[in-house]
């Protein structure tokens, strides 16, 4: 009896050690990752995929052994970046599982709902040529003056249109100023209305503040950079000073659900810092289908399959 008890204690200790140090299992709580992971699936997560995060962050802080980056398109388990209380230790927060669609330093074209689009990726300051009606020239020049836009000389004429080069930020300001009164048309590329470039923060990277990313940057600075920040109008203030840009101290990622109707992704909680990442989903070890089948809904063809 004593020998059996000893064996059980050792076995339990080994299971706990493996779960703590190497792998963990999580249950998919919703349909947000279908058709890759289904609600109720049990998934094995490799804690060493991106370097092992030392447990008990409340005691030892956040440290990672053998740190390595997250890969584009990988399905990642991470702690909630937007908890009810920022005092709650990172490793004790609830967990989410999403696909990584933006790496540190990447630029994503997101719409007003922060959904990634297929628009051509632009730098906010790269110059493109825009056409507008020639009879609106006076209004355009006046709007340029009001918004401090200079050096954008006429580059040509085309069928009654004037051609000038503007950056994405400059054309944003002009459209805000002029509305539908002056239609602008990009000759090289044209983004859909409300689509803007968002730079994913990286450690040591200075990210410029624009009206469309100010709120997202402010939330990240307060929640994960530990600084005081607020927005007044379209202007970001950090520690009481106007911030035209901010240099980040961590790497961040943009996470997305497979199902755009599920809001449990970066549209809800913003950029995900590297220190919140637990590991990579590698295997589905159990799956239950909601459809009727020979085995009361159990789908054996989805057991023990790799997560892709």
Give the residue extent of every domain in the chain: 2-104+253-306, 127-186
How many of the other CB atoms lie within 10 Å of CB of 75?
20
Q: Is the pLDDT of residue 229 over 90?
A: yes
Tokens representing 293? 């089948």
Tell me the whole-structure pTM to 2 decimals: 0.84
Q: Is the pLDDT of residue 6 over 70?
A: no
Contact yes or no for 45/279 (Cβ under 8 A): yes
Distance CA(16)–CA(10), nearest Å, equals 10
Which band of pLDDT confidence, cut at 50, 70 and 90, is reported for residue 306? Answer: low
With CA atoms as reference, report the closest residue to 198 among 122, 277, 99: 122
Q: Is the pLDDT of residue 71 over 90?
A: yes
Span of 159-173, 198-212, 254-268 with lowest mean pLDDT: 254-268
Residue 270: the pLDDT is 96
| Alpha helices, H only, the chain | 2-21, 57-60, 137-146, 168-178, 214-224, 266-269
Q: Is the pLDDT of residue 57 over 80?
A: no
Contact yes or no for 171/140 (Cβ under 8 A): no
Question: CATH code for 2-104+253-306?
Answer: 2.10.109.10
Span of 58-67, 186-195, 231-240, 260-269 with lowest mean pLDDT: 58-67
Residue 60: the pLDDT is 67
Mean pLDDT of the chain: 85
| Alpha helices, H only, 157-200 | 168-178
CATH 3.40.50 fits 127-186, yes or no: no
With CA atoms as reference, report the closest residue to 257 among 109, 105, 86, 37: 37
């Amino acid at each position: 009896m004593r020998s059996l008890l000893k064996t059980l204690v050792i076995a339990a200790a080994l299971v706990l050690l493996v779960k703590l140090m190497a792998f963990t299992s999580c249950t998919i709580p919703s349909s947000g990752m279908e058709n890759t992971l289904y609600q109720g699936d049990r998934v094995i997560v490799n804690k060493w995929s991106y370097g092992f995060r030392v447990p008990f962050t409340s005691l030892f802080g956040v440290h990672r052994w053998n740190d390595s980056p997250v890969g584009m398109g990988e399905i990642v388990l991470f702690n909630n970046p937007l908890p009810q209380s920022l005092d709650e230790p990172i490793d004790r927060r609830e967990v989410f599982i999403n696909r990584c669609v933006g790496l540190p330093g990447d630029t994503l074209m997101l719409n007003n709902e922060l959904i990634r689009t297929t628009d051509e990726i632009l730098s906010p300051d790269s110059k493109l040529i825009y056409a507008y009606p020639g009879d609106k020239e006076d209004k355009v020049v006046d709007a340029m003056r009001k918004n401090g836009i200079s050096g954008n000389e006429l580059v040509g004429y085309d069928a009654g249109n004037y051609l000038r080069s503007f950056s994405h930020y400059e054309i944003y300001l002009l459209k805000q100023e002029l509305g539908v009164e002056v239609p602008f048309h990009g000759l090289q590329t044209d983004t859909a209305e409300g689509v803007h470039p968002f730079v994913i923060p990286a450690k040591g990277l200075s990210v410029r503040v624009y009206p469309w990313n100010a709120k997202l940057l402010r939330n990240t600075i307060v929640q994960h950079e530990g600084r005081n920040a607020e927005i007044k109008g379209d202007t970001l203030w950090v520690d009481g000073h106007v911030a035209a840009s901010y240099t980040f101290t961590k790497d961040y990622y943009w996470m997305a659900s497979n199902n755009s109707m599920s809001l449990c992704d970066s549209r809800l909680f913003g950029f995900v810092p590297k220190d919140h990442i637990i590991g990579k989903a590698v295997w589905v070890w159990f799956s239950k289908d909601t459809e009727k089948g020979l085995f009361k809904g159990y789908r054996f063809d989805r057991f023990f399959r790799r997560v892709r």
